[in-house]
Amino acid sequence: MKNTTPHWIAIVLLGGALIAIGVKFVILGTTAPGSAEDPRMAVVLTKTERAMVLGEMRTLLATTQTLIEALNENDLKRAENAARKVGKAAVSTMDFRLRAKLPLEFKRLGFGTHDAFDDIADMAAAGKPPAEIQRRLAEAMNNCIACHASYRLIAATP
């Protein structure tokens, strides 16, 4: 009878290593603990990645302003077009290496926000009342508030 124990040990060790890598890159991301001055968790990115994420956040903020104006003017087509641009399609091109650096809750809040903008675009396309669309926008803004209260982006030092 053949001894297969070494094979099972190798399989278990390899499986454990894969799980550890998955936890690190899917759940934990590349982070550093907060400090006494700023207790928010630091997400450690390259300067280019940090600029990219901050640029995306500024785009979301500008889109929110456009939505407020469009809904105030009852211009649902403008609201739909603005929201659609920052929906899920906007994150489909995000680099996998950058995604791996983001902690799971950061990703959940961010992807939830992009999903909400798709919801807003769908609501505007369906002719929902502006007040109802504004409520959905307010819900989406809660993701922004939660993320900014929990995380800060820092550039890795070379």
User: What per-residue confidence (pLDDT) applies to 112?
Assistant: 96
Task: Return the H-helix or E-strand segment holding 154.
Answer: strand 151-155
* Length of the chain in terms of residues written: 158
pLDDT value at 157 more than 90: no
In this prediction the pTM is 0.81
- Measure the CA angle with vertex 141, ends 139 and 145; round to 5°: 120
| pLDDT band at residue 8 using 50, 70 and 90 as cut-offs | low
Q: How many CA atoms lie within 13 A of 64 on its CB side?
A: 19
pLDDT value at 114 more than 90: yes
